[in-house]
Amino acid sequence: MKKRPFLLASALLAGVFVFFLALVIAVASFMGRPTGFALGDKVGVIEVYGVIADSRQIISQLHDFQDDDSIKAIVLRVDSPGGGVGPSQEIHDEVKLVDAEKPVVVSMGSVAASGGYYIAAPAREIVANPGTITGSIGVIMEFTNFQDLLDKIGLSSQVIKSGQHKDIGSPTRPMTNTERALLQSLIDDVHSQFVASVSIGRELDETIVRSLADGRIFTGRQAMAMGLVDTMGNLDVAIRRAAELGGIEGEPKVVYPESEKPRFIDLFIEESLNHLQYALQKQRTTGMQFLWPGFD
């Protein structure tokens, strides 16, 4: 008789646990995301949406899937016009490292251009839609000059600097020929890094890549004809191909990184911030970008 309260309490706790587990699975199903509770071998899907401004979350998700023995392959879903040089290079390098251990397949959405293509280049295979906008292999820096406007309203800028080029790119004075040459040299060097990375990742002759790397964009179908993409297809095609490469038989189970918030809130906030950041970047233009300017 003394054990009965304990057994009842244990049964109650077990029932509560099962209830909340079922609730989590139901909510995840309603939100359109497979959960991490799937048993057996799985394909992990990581999403890269909007302007690439930071690499930490994507790299962390890659590490989590790399360390999970039940995940046999990874799909990187890219829908991005690119972004900062540093974050794009960091994700690129991590994709390369992870792919050496587990196959990484890129699925291109509407846009996977510039930095969006940069992070895709080292993957095992790239799957794109025929109408995906990709390419834009190049580097850009933009500077806005406010000198005429300041003159009209009677404002002037006084600069004290430690060296001749410390205020290079200043919006309050014209750019000199020497400064333009220095910045062009910087752009050319980073552009060469981009070309070399694509050449290695896609196993293409560097001369061929350089001929395509003038900033032009391609459709997914055009990119495939040039060797920049492997096959045509949507996300499901990429998931099935990743499963094949990972040795998974039958219909693959799919998992996404755990999220603390409902997906629609994440997307709303993320997209709002991405568009705000992109607008600010267009105004401030403070650094080099692997970015397709046609995105808005």
Q: Which residues are catalytic?
A: 114, 166
DSSP 45-107: EEEEES-B---HHHHHHHHHHHH-TTEEEEEEEEEE-EEEHHHHHHHHHHHHHHHTTS-EEEE
Contacts with 257 (C-beta within 8 Å, 6 or more apart), sequence order: 44, 46, 61, 64, 65
Buried b (16+ CB within 10 A) or exposed e, 207-217: eebbebbebeb
Buried b (16+ CB within 10 A) or exposed e, 103-131: bbbbbbbebbbbbbbbbbbbbbbbbbbee
Q: What is the DSSP letter of 32?
A: T
In angstroms, the CA 26 to CA 30 distance is 6
User: Tokens at residue 186, please?
Assistant: 């910087």
